[in-house]
Chains A and B, each alone.
Chain A
Amino acid sequence: MKKLIFFLLVLIQFQLVAAAEVNIYSARKEALIKPLLDQFTTETGIAVNIVTGKADTLLKRLEVEGRNTPADLLLTVDVARLIRAKEKGLFQQIDSDLLNKVIPENYRDDDKQWFGLSLRSRVIIYAPDRVNESDLDSYIDLADKKWANRICVRSSSNVYNQSLVAAMIANYGLEKAERWATGLVNNFARSPKGGDRDQIKAVAAGVCDVALINNYYLAGMLESSQKNEVAAANKIKLFWPNQDGRGAHMNVSGAGILKPAKHKKEAIQLLEFLVSDYAQQWYADTNHEYSINSAIESSSILKSWGKFKADKLNLGLLGKHNTDAVLLMDRVGWK
């Protein structure tokens, strides 16, 4: 028994030794963030520990671990989960002049609980040999009968689709959004399957003529080491939707600092590093995301798609309408 108590005390002591480190729960895949974290460690000497996983399971883990959670920071790849974390009271308010200065207002939380770190847009792609660019217009237009049996999009279980529908609800109201989704689903060329790259390949292979995807997937395929991916990506073109209206739908990858964070100072340091020019350039060059800092130069592929008008919708609304979006998609039969 004495030994056991001794062992426990050693364990506890071990935990008390707080080295300079920061602990992250990340919904962003390790390969897509690790190089940045390594750079941060090199620059500051602060070690970074990371567990990756699906956003909602990480949220659950944070919830049940409660005030003793070892995590300081939560990274996600979509705004809906940031807001879900905020609603569950997991984040704390962070006052950083730097973050407030660099990040535009609509890409960060009004209550300073979460911050967007990189931008992506959900765009339309099309097969130029079967679709005239002039026939394309907006998301709303995709519900038109002229697209019957011509559209590919992935499952409604995917959060990017949920956020798009949430944006439609926020912009046009529930009723109009539901009518739109009904029309869209009627125009599906096939039952939703696969990821965004699969939709690109499907358009290239002639299964459908247009598809909805996140822009960086197309860029990733264009510079893939696989010849067939490059070939498929070269067969299709990108179209910026809603340019005469509200602009293209935007989403962020972002982060928030957790309430029980034991390394708050280091976590803020990391957040500030992630919006630094170095990190923002990395996001742009490596993963072809748009920088939250407009001064940063886009990758050459992004540049080739030209400038576009982004929807200025406050992203907080995407989280607010997420559940409504899923319920709506269930009702209209978007699998």
Chain B
Amino acid sequence: MLATRAAQALPNAQAFKSSLFKFTKWNTALVFLSLLFSIPLAVVFGSLFFPEYEVWEHLRATVLTDYIANSLALLVGVGFFSLLFGVIPAWMVTMYRFPLSRQLEWALLLPMSMPAYIIAYSYTGALDVAGPFQTMLREFTGWQYRDYWFPEIRSLGGAIAMLSLVLYPYIYLLARAAFIEQSVCVLEVSRTLGCNTVNAFRRVALPLARPAIMVGLSLVLMETLADYGTVQYFGVSAFTTGIFRTWFGLGNSLAAAQLSALLLIFVAVFLYLEKRSRKQARYHHTSNRYSSLMQQKLSKGHGLIALTICAAPMVFGFIIPVSLLINWALDTYSEVLGKDFYLLLFHSLLLAFVTSLLALAIALFMAYSNRNNKSLLNRIMVRFVSMGYAIPGTVIAVGVLIPFAWFDNSLDTLLMENLNISSGLLISGTVFTLVFAYLVRFLAVSINTVEAALVKIKPVMDEVAKTTGMRAGTIVKRIHMPMMRGSLLTALLLVFVDVLKELPATLILRPFNFNTLAVRTYELANEELLADAAVPALAIVMAGIIPVIIISNSISHSRPGHE
């Protein structure tokens, strides 16, 4: 009932504040920041003004249908399975006690540290027709290749499996945080109203967690659209394959940018529909009274079933591929480890650390500006900026290269003409450019996570706090921050791990003699030297695990009232 009241109260407040634009310091800063981070996307959209009819006619007549059909199949498949792997275990580890449930709480996040292209390499190495498993099968049975059926790992189905296995943690993480934050009152009330646990999940907990789950899902789908490594390796002609084929093969970067713009429009429509579908429904915390969550202990039989369901995604998404990698790494680590290797590790960690902090700061700023001033322009700009996640890193990188080099060259010309000094390329080809590109690509992650947390804080709470004489800063510090702590850490973690895994933008934009773990992994794996690639690949995974565990821990303790 409280939920309904809050929902009724809000639209009025929103209508009251709504306007096109208001001039305030905050707003001006917001506009400036949004514009800055929109530049690369604008470059991509700009390509639409220079139509390439011939190429498009060719694409339409030959391969475009294939690209679209495969990408849609990927979206549906990956969306379905990552919801399955994400939401159900999240609910189970939050509500029930069963063998290893405590460990699974954080272990379910582990596949997040695994780049999609690496899991694809490891499964292919093991399960492919020439891999050890099928070779053994043939030797053992005397069968030939055509005598038996074995699922083809490098196929559309395989790509769906690989992407789902490493992307579901986005949904799991946000769903679990949402379940934890739910007030027990709601669940208890639902029980007194006759809901059994399944119904409580379906009719109360799930709808309340929906905004968080949708944020997770849209991140998963955007990442799926932007994936190039996996689909290319598996020979699946998805939309990204098309973008790169058009660029590298046909040498037409303009048409490639137009394909990307098309992808962006698709994402924009999807995000809009998703927002609209829950326009009327607003979800807020209904009460500040939290009591500790009572986890139900499952019987032995049920406990084992729960264990199997929850462990499966983690085993297939992490334990198995990591074991394969370790197996390879044992052969090669002595050649790969060295001073040079620690430098790679240092570069990767530094980039991830700096970018994740910046992304969080920017996301907080944008989310708050949006909350305080719901003008149309604000909302559109923040939405626009958070679309970068769906664009392949290579395309983002080019969108960064063009304006930055233009700026550098113009400055150089200006200085030459007036002072006869050449400034060369000041910012192009520096780490600064690289971090900027990361931000364009990953801001969506932090913005979405922070917004989802902020939206759940009832505006009424602010009003009440104001009547007690608290100032805005104090409200944020004493009321918002404790409530959002888990989500903020989540935002930090997601970007951190994403940057560790990022490859294409790093490849294009990095300065001279500057490599990261992902670059090294790619260079070796691309030469089909999987065994050599295993060591840097493992290092990415390991470097990603530590923050994953720390933050998972802090989310478990983020429940208000929890000691």
What separation, in Å, do the CA atoms of A107 and B305 have in the docked complex? 66
Q: A65-B425, A193-B234, A335-B235 are in contact. Are A70 and B512 (CB under 8 A)?
A: yes
Quick check: is A112 within 8 A (CB to CB) of the other chain?
Answer: no
Quick check: is B418 within 8 A (CB to CB) of the other chain?
Answer: no
Q: Is the CB of A327 within 8 A of B507?
A: no
What separation, in Å, do the CA atoms of A6 and B30 have in the docked complex? 30
Quick check: is B25 within 8 A (CB to CB) of the other chain?
Answer: no
Quick check: is A86 within 8 A (CB to CB) of the other chain?
Answer: no
Q: A70-B512, A207-B129 are in contact. Are A53 and B507 (CB under 8 A)?
A: yes
Q: Which chain A positions have C-beta within 8 A of B429?
A: 51, 65, 70
Quick check: is A304 within 8 A (CB to CB) of the other chain?
Answer: no
Contact of A232 among B58, B130, B145, B421 (CB under 8 A): B130
Quick check: is B188 within 8 A (CB to CB) of the other chain?
Answer: no
Q: Top 5 closest A-B pairs, CB basis?
A: A193-B235, A201-B130, A206-B145, A49-B512, A326-B249
Quick check: is A296 within 8 A (CB to CB) of the other chain?
Answer: no
Q: Give chain B nearest CB distance to A154 CB in angstroms.
A: 8
User: Which residue of chain B lies nearest to A191 when distances are taken between CB atoms in the complex?
Assistant: B235
Q: Which chain B positions have C-beta within 8 A of A322?
A: 249, 251
Q: Give chain B nearest CB distance to A227 CB in angstroms.
A: 10
Which residues of A1-60 are within 8 A (CB) of B? 8, 11-12, 15-16, 23, 29-32, 49-58, 60
From B282-290, B374-382, B400-408, the one touching the partner chain is B400-408
Which residues of B229-253 are within 8 A (CB) of A? 232-235, 237, 241, 244-245, 247-251, 253
Quick check: is B331 within 8 A (CB to CB) of the other chain?
Answer: yes
Contact of B331 among A8, A31, A198, A226 (CB under 8 A): A226
Q: Is the CB of A61 within 8 A of B423?
A: no
Q: Is the CB of A68 within 8 A of B412?
A: yes
Question: What is the size, in residues, of chain B's interface with A at 8 Å between Cβ atoms?
Answer: 65
Contact of B401 among A15, A61, A225 (CB under 8 A): A61
Q: Is the CB of B62 within 8 A of A228?
A: no
From B5-13, B442-450, B482-490, B521-529, the one touching the partner chain is B521-529
Quick check: is A194 within 8 A (CB to CB) of the other chain?
Answer: yes
User: Which residue of chain B lies nearest to A88 when distances are taken between CB atoms in the complex?
Assistant: B251
What separation, in Å, do the CA atoms of A15 and B128 have in the docked complex? 51
Q: A12-B424, A197-B528 are in contact. Are A50 and B412 (CB under 8 A)?
A: no
Quick check: is A295 within 8 A (CB to CB) of the other chain?
Answer: no
Q: Which chain B positions have C-beta within 8 A of A194?
A: 124, 154, 233, 235, 528
Q: Is the CB of A8 within 8 A of B62?
A: no
User: Which residue of chain B lies nearest to A193 when distances are taken between CB atoms in the complex?
Assistant: B235
Q: Mark B390-413, 1 if CB is under 8 A from A, else 0.
A: 000010011001100110110010
Q: Is the CB of B129 within 8 A of A57?
A: no
Contact of B528 among A8, A191, A193, A195 (CB under 8 A): A195
Q: Is the CB of A70 within 8 A of B232?
A: no
What separation, in Å, do the CA atoms of A195 and B513 have in the docked complex? 27
Question: What is the size, in residues, of chain A's interface with B at 8 Å between Cβ atoms?
Answer: 61
Q: Which chain A positions have C-beta within 8 A of B154?
A: 193-194
Quick check: is A246 within 8 A (CB to CB) of the other chain?
Answer: no
Quick check: is B134 within 8 A (CB to CB) of the other chain?
Answer: yes
Q: Give chain A nearest CB distance to B46 CB in angstroms.
A: 14
B interface list, Cβ under 8 A from A: 58-59, 62-63, 124, 128-130, 132, 134-135, 138, 144-146, 154, 232-235, 237, 241, 244-245, 247-251, 253, 331-332, 394, 397-398, 401-402, 405-406, 408-409, 412, 421-426, 428-429, 507-508, 510-515, 519, 523-524, 526-528, 531
Majority DSSP secondary structure for residues of A touching B: helix
Quick check: is A294 within 8 A (CB to CB) of the other chain?
Answer: no
What separation, in Å, do the CA atoms of A155 and B249 have in the docked complex? 12
Q: Is the CB of B428 within 8 A of A65?
A: yes
Known pairs A201-B130, A225-B331. 18 more at Cβ < 8 A? Answer: A12-B422, A23-B512, A32-B527, A53-B507, A56-B251, A64-B401, A194-B528, A195-B526, A202-B129, A205-B134, A205-B145, A207-B130, A226-B531, A228-B130, A228-B135, A323-B249, A327-B58, A330-B63
Q: Is the CB of A225 within 8 A of B129?
A: no
Q: Which chain A positions have C-beta within 8 A of B233?
A: 193-194
Q: Which chain A positions have C-beta within 8 A of B234?
A: 193
Contact of A192 among B235, B402, B421 (CB under 8 A): B235
Contact of B424 among A50, A55, A68, A156 (CB under 8 A): A68
Q: Is the CB of B248 within 8 A of A31?
A: no
Interface hub of B62, B244, B248 (most chain A Cβ within 10 A): B248
Q: Give chain A nearest CB distance to B409 CB in angstroms.
A: 6
What separation, in Å, do the CA atoms of A248 and B418 have in the docked complex? 58
Q: Which chain A positions have C-beta within 8 A of B424?
A: 12, 15, 68, 70
User: Which residue of chain B lies nearest to A327 when distances are taken between CB atoms in the complex?
Assistant: B58
Q: Which chain A positions have C-beta within 8 A of B59?
A: 330
Q: Which chain A positions have C-beta within 8 A of B248?
A: 54-56, 157, 159
What separation, in Å, do the CA atoms of A23 and B513 have in the docked complex? 10
Quick check: is A66 within 8 A (CB to CB) of the other chain?
Answer: yes
Quick check: is A109 within 8 A (CB to CB) of the other chain?
Answer: no
Can you list 18 A-B pairs, Cβ within 8 angstroms, ordered by A? A12-B423, A15-B424, A32-B527, A51-B514, A54-B507, A57-B398, A65-B429, A68-B424, A68-B425, A192-B235, A195-B526, A195-B527, A202-B129, A204-B130, A205-B134, A207-B130, A226-B331, A331-B62
Q: Is the CB of B146 within 8 A of A155?
A: no
Contact of A70 among B62, B237, B409, B425 (CB under 8 A): B425
Q: Is the CB of A225 within 8 A of B531?
A: yes
User: Which residue of chain A lies nearest to B515 when distances are taken between CB atoms in the complex?
Assistant: A30
